[in-house]
Amino acid sequence: MKEKHKVTEQGRQIHDRDPETHGINHGRETDFELERYKYILQQIHTSNDNVHKYLALFQTLITAIIGGGILIFVNWKNLNIRADIVRASIQGLIGLLIILASFVVISVIGGIFSWLDYRREEVKLLKDIGKPEIRKMPTLRNCWRWFETYVVLFIIVSVLAIIIFVEGQILPLVK
C-alpha cells in the first residue's frame, strides 16, 4: 500500500493511504470520524429502542384506560351514578385514549425521521472515508419493511376499533 506523508501548516505530519486503494486518513481526522461513526450508530440504536419504550407505554396506559372504562360501565348502577355522567366518563376515557395514541404515533414518526437523518449521516460518513458500498441511502419507499410502520398501524387500528365498539355497543346500553 502506498503511503504519502503531508506536513500541515502547524508542522504535524499526516499519513494518507493512496486513494486508489480506498484507504482512510490516519490521525485526528480518522479519530474524529471513528468517534462520529460510533455516535451515529448509538443514536440509531437508541432510536430503535425508543419505539419499544413507546409501545410498552401505550400498552400499559391503554390497559389502565380500558380497565377504568369497564369498571365504570359494570358498576355504574350499583354506585348510583347517573347515565349521563357514565356516558361522559366513558367518552372522556375515549378522549384520553385518543390523546395517548396521538402522542405515541407522533413520537414514533418523529423517531423515524431522526433515524432517517442518522442513517443518511452514516452513509455520507462512510462515503467520505471511502467505503460507500457498505450502506445505501434509506428511502421512505421501504417503510413497509420497518417495524415502526406496523406499530403505528396497530395503534391506529386498535384505537379505531375501540372507539367503534364503545360508541356502537357500550354507550347505547347506558340508559
Q: Is the dihedral of CA 114, 120, 121, 126 positive or negative?
A: positive
Task: Name, of 12-26, 84-98, 127-141, the range with top average pLDDT.
Answer: 84-98
pTM, full prediction? 0.75
Cross-strand bridge partners of residue 13: 7
Q: What is the mean pLDDT of residues 34-62?
A: 92
Report residue 87 as a C-alpha cell: 356516558
Cα 172 to Cα 83, 128, 163, distances in angstroms: 10, 64, 13
Cα–Cα dist 171/156, whole Å: 21
For the stretch 99-128, pLDDT in tens is: 999 999 999 999 999 999 999 999 998 888
Report residue 45 as a C-alpha cell: 440504536
